[in-house]
Amino acid sequence: MEVSGYMFREKISELLEERDILAKQFTSNIKQFDNAEYGTKTNLEELFGRYHRAELKVCKLQSEQSRFNTIVKVQGPDGEISLSEATKAVSIENRASGLWKSVAHGGKKLSRFERREPATVRDKEKVYAKEAVGFEVALGKKRDHTRRANKFRQAIVEGNSTKIELEIDRALFD
């Protein structure tokens, strides 16, 4: 069957939403009155069966999605990599960008309850820490990692739109 990353993403999302609805129905019907207001009692075993089938289908689809992500190759900032690696690398670059952003902002901000000596106070007995990296350097590093993350995002978009032939049960997409 010909599949794309978007097919996996959309079907998994649909099933996870269905699973959550079924789980809420299941837990909200644990106790029922003998004369149910709407005519019949909810069959918990049947409801759980639908929930469990959705969970198993998600499991199989995610497994096949992993196979797809390993097979499909994309162009990352440093060369060709698997789609799987690109999806992990974008998170790494986002975290790196965030760390450099905090350096550019001057580090941890003090709450209104914390006290800090004014920068103009001079005291021979006190030693003040200095910035380890200047603002411009930190901003440049943040920008570099943001650009790398954007390149990975673009590669992921292209990879997910790629269609390949996989031996896969068509019923998983029904």
What range defines the domain where residue 93 resides? 2-173
Taking the C-alpha atoms of residue 4 and residue 159, their distance in angstroms, rounded to an integer, is 8
> Tens digit of pLDDT for each residue in 49-107?
999 999 999 999 999 999 999 999 999 999 999 999 999 999 999 999 999 999 888 76
Q: Which residues pair with 73 in a beta bridge?
A: 82
3-class DSSP assignment, residue 29: coil
147-174: average pLDDT: 97
Report the domain count for the chain: 1
Q: How far apart are CA 89 and CA 36, in angstroms?
A: 53
Which residue in the block uniquely carries the two structure tokens 């943040």?
142
